[in-house]
Amino acid sequence: MAITAQDVNKLRQMTGAGMMDCKKALTEADGDFEAAIDNLRKKGQKVSASRSDRTTTEGAVFVKASGDTTEATLIALGCETDFVAKNESFQALGNTVLEAAAQQQPASVEDLLALTVNGLPVADHLTDLMGKIGEKIEVVAYEKVKGEKVTTYVHSNGKLGVLVALTGVNGADVDAVGKDVAMQIAAMKPIAIDKDGVDAKTIEREIEIGKEQARAEGKPEAMLERIAQGKLQKFYKDNTLLNQEFVKDNTKTIAQLLQGTNAGLTVSDFKLVKIG
């Protein structure tokens, strides 16, 4: 059957695919719109397969807090170029996936990809957009936190996001300090809340590095353990959130900042995601 310009435009409005792709899909489907949409999706699947080895070094982070600010969700959508990361369809898909994740609270990225949104699994929505855009697109991170109060932050470039959960709020206004802590995490990238959150393997590695540094400086073997332990304390100070100096005022630590806002206030959880 003859494919009209109106048919092509209708399919384009339905799918967002290019005019030539829509015309070809309709022609191959003999004017059947459902079959044409399937053809376009199959093209997307081919794009996905052909680009499976590509690296998604660009993308965007999307965050959302619940209405009562006791839960927050973050997803990071990866792509190959910054141009696509700023694409309206890419941004719309990121927000759609975020909304689904926030509402349905899947346990993992795999479960997130299986969620049904507008009649299709999230994985199929990614495939569809790959077919239209021609780049690999994937969910590269999915995180969530819960607490008495949560704060979210996305850096101005859209490629770094932070979730922070606070405890010990006791009705205090902690919005400002929550934002400060989130920005601290974005800037200083701590590996844990406090030293108790640092895994044993990291501690062992830092002690060994400390010993080797002291040994290279000619320190006696009997002193190496004590020197290494001192260096470990410095590592905690630089790399654990509550022990870090506050970037806006280095006369106090983050723990002191929180205590100065409200006695007992502390961080119970945080997530940091950076693309690229």
pLDDT at 15 over 90: no
Q: What is the phi/psi pair of residue 134, to 5°? A: 85, 20
pLDDT at 19: 86
Assess whether 142 and 68 both reside in one domain.
yes
Assess whether 65 and 130 both reside in one domain.
yes
pLDDT at 38: 87
Assess whether 69 and 16 both reside in one domain.
no
Span 180-225, pLDDT tens digits: 999 999 999 999 999 999 999 999 999 999 999 999 999 999 999 9
**182 domain residue, yes or no:** no
pLDDT at 45: 79
**242 domain residue, yes or no:** no
**Partners of 75 in the beta sheet?**
62, 142
Span 75-127, pLDDT tens digits: 999 999 999 999 999 999 999 999 999 999 999 999 999 999 999 999 999 99
Assess whether 63 and 122 both reside in one domain.
yes
12 pLDDT band (50/70/90 cuts)?
A: confident
Contact between 165 and 182 under an 8 Å Cβ cutoff? The reply is no
pLDDT at 47 over 80: no
At residue 214, the 3 state secondary structure works out as helix
**192 domain residue, yes or no:** no
* CA nearest to 99, candidates 85, 116, 80, 123: 116
Assess whether 68 and 90 both reside in one domain.
yes
Assess whether 70 and 137 both reside in one domain.
yes
Considering 101, 121, 146, which residue would you say is the last residue of a domain? 146
The residue-averaged pLDDT of 169-181 equals 96
Whole-number CA gyration radius for the chain: 25
Q: Which of 13-22, 208-217, 266-275 has the lowest mean pLDDT?
A: 13-22
Q: How far apart, in whole angstroms, are the C-alpha atoms of residue 199 and residue 221? A: 26
For residue 83, the enclosing domain spans 55-146
CATH code for the domain of 109: 3.30.479.20
pTM of the model as a whole? 0.87
Q: Any alpha helices (H) in 33-81, and if so which ranges? A: 33-50
